[in-house]
Amino acid sequence: MRFRTVTTLVLSVLSLGAVSVFAHQPSDDGFRNPLSSPPLFEFAPPPPIHQMDSVLQEQVEELLEAEQQQAIPLIQRLHLNGSAIRKASRKRPFDEVLIGKLVGEYAKLKAELMLLRLRTENRIKLIMEERQNSKK
């Protein structure tokens, strides 16, 4: 029974990974599809520098710096949680309840990181749109 549960979990994770790899298609608006984005600990790159004036570039850099500062503790907790999952999965007997809780915490941390990145990308896009509208 435990072997079947673990096998199902592993195959599910591998399937999701394969879907995200094959779904890599950039969108027309210049922002990535969340399913095809790089790992969450890589920060959203700013738009090309030649498209920004110095004021806009400073605003974008401030947003990215703030995102990075907020993400560092989340990434550290994510790594610790991953280590705890690996450690708990090696113990015998297999404690499915404990690993389930740890995996749930891991998923919440990944969701927080994704939300942080998407929020920052949206703010950058809004700043650029405002700048373009003010130039017109």
Within 8 A by CB and 6+ apart from 118, the residues are 34
Q: Which two tokens stand for residue 119?
A: 């929020």
> 87 or 9: whose pLDDT is higher?
87
Considering the entire predicted model, what is its pTM? 0.59
Q: How do residues 79-134 score in pLDDT, each as one tens digit?
A: 999 999 999 999 999 999 999 999 999 999 999 999 999 999 899 888 888 887 88
pLDDT at residue 43 greater than cutoff 60: no
Residue 30 has pLDDT above 70, yes or no: no
Smallest Cα–Cα separation from 128: which of 65, 48, 69? 48
Q: Quickly tell me which residue has 């650029």 as its tokens.
A: 128
Domain ranges for the chain, please list them: 38-135
CATH class (in words) of the domain with range 38-135: mainly alpha
Tell me how crowded residue 18 is: count the other CB atoms within 10 A of its CB.
10
